[in-house]
Amino acid sequence: MALSDLQVTPKHLFRITDAVIYTKTIHGNSIAFTDFGFANDGPAIVTFSGWNQDHRGWSNVTPYLMDTYRVISVCFRGHGPNRDPVGDFSFADHASDVLAVVDSLGVGQFVCLAASHGGWPALELAQAVGRQRCPAVIILDLVMTEASPQFLAGMKALQKPDTWQPTVRALFKSWNNGTASLNMREQMLINAGGFGYETWARAGRTIQEAYNKWGSPMKRMEALQDPPLIHHVYTQPPGSGDDYHKVHEQFRQKHPDWFSFDHATGGIHVPHIEQPEKVDRITRDVITRTLAQDVAD
């Protein structure tokens, strides 16, 4: 029986926000990570945070998953306890860091669970290891269409010393969307609020580069060789809800063998924080479908 099947409320769940953090030196950098449920069978779940979020971004959903799966959350460079300055790095670099950590832990097959722009390095890692080792990628609320001029302007504003702070405040307001969620308030104040100009500027540069290179996450997916099962969960569409749903439905009809999606009707940009129970159920369903596909193949 999964934890999500029990009659429990969030206050009864394990609190892992302040869990012990492990570090490894990877490619000359200190990489922080957490590792739960390592005695469980089946594919591990490797999480990818959005930029300016560390392992604590997964503290709401991990307690649901770790009774069944090994859950490994690897931080970006410079996002762990050691906040010494680091040089610029790409999403491909982060994927390489994550793979080195996963390999060092003796992990075989795994599924990627990525929040927002963590989807970019998750797709890089899936490409690097192939579908047999990474049979599925679950992405939570990444803008799947081409970036709007307003979005790109925001990414550029993050890169300027005199505009990064008001831009971050505007992002927080947008992400929060008036919610009363204590989980979201905690993540904004304690987690994302702990990063300064250098990290936010790097986020703006790297995210802008990803959209410039690929056009959109969907185009990046189409460039994958032998793509894994990719499942997108979105809450707040960038435009009309009907239009955004249509984009997803058309993409699913174009790639029925490997793309699927869910619309989590929440109020904020981060379903794994606002709706951990739903993300738990969706993740389990995707892994079940993945294992069934492996048997069929």
Asked whether residue 22 is domain-assigned, the answer is yes
Answer for the pair 112, 48: CB distance below 8 angstroms, yes or no: yes
Residues 115-171 pLDDT 10s: 999 999 999 999 999 999 999 999 998 989 999 999 999 999 999 999 999 998 888
Position 292 scores a pLDDT of: 84
Asked whether residue 166 is domain-assigned, the answer is no
φ, ψ at 8 (rounded to 5°) = -125, 155
Position 193 scores a pLDDT of: 63
| Residue 113's CATH number | 3.40.50.1820
Asked whether residue 168 is domain-assigned, the answer is no
φ, ψ at 94 (rounded to 5°) = -65, -40
User: Do the bridges between strand 71-74 and strand 29-36 make them parallel or antiparallel, or are there none, so unpaired?
Assistant: antiparallel
Q: Which residues are catalytic?
A: 269
3-state secondary structure the chain: CCHHHCCCCHHHCCCCCCCCCEEEEECCEEEEEEEECCCCCCCEEEEECCCCCCHHHHCCCHHHHCCCCCEEEECCCCCCCCCCCCCCCCHHHHHHHHHHHHHHCCCCCEEEEEEHHHHHHHHHHHHHHCCCCCCEEEEECCCCCCCCHHHHHHHHHCCCCCCHHHHHHHHHHHHHCCCCCHHHHHHHHHHHHHCCHHHHHHHHHHHHHHHHHHCCHHHHHHCCCCCCEEEEEECCCCCCHHHHHHHHHHHHHHCCCCEEEEECCCCCCCHHHHCHHHHHHHHHHHHHHHHHHHHHC
Q: What number is the average pLDDT over the span 182-201?
A: 75
Asked whether residue 284 is domain-assigned, the answer is yes
Q: What number is the average pLDDT over the span 228-243?
A: 77
Number of structural domains in the chain: 1
Q: How confident is the model at residue 12 (pLDDT cuts 50, 70, 90)?
A: very low
Asked whether residue 181 is domain-assigned, the answer is no
Residues 66-87 pLDDT 10s: 989 999 999 999 988 888 889 9
Residues 21-45 pLDDT 10s: 999 999 999 999 999 988 888 899 9
Position 27 scores a pLDDT of: 96
Q: Tell me the C-alpha distance between 76 and 98, whole Å.
A: 9
In the chain, the percentage of residues whose pLDDT exceeds 90 is: 61
Asked whether residue 183 is domain-assigned, the answer is no
Position 249 scores a pLDDT of: 96
Position 243 scores a pLDDT of: 86
Position 16 scores a pLDDT of: 58
Closest to 168 (Cα-Cα) out of 176, 153, 158: 158
Please state the length of the chain: 297
Q: Tell me the C-alpha distance between 189 and 103, whole Å.
A: 33
Position 29 scores a pLDDT of: 95
Asked whether residue 151 is domain-assigned, the answer is no
Provide the domain limits for residue 227. 3-146+216-296
Position 3 scores a pLDDT of: 46
Q: Whole-model pTM?
A: 0.89
Asked whether residue 189 is domain-assigned, the answer is no
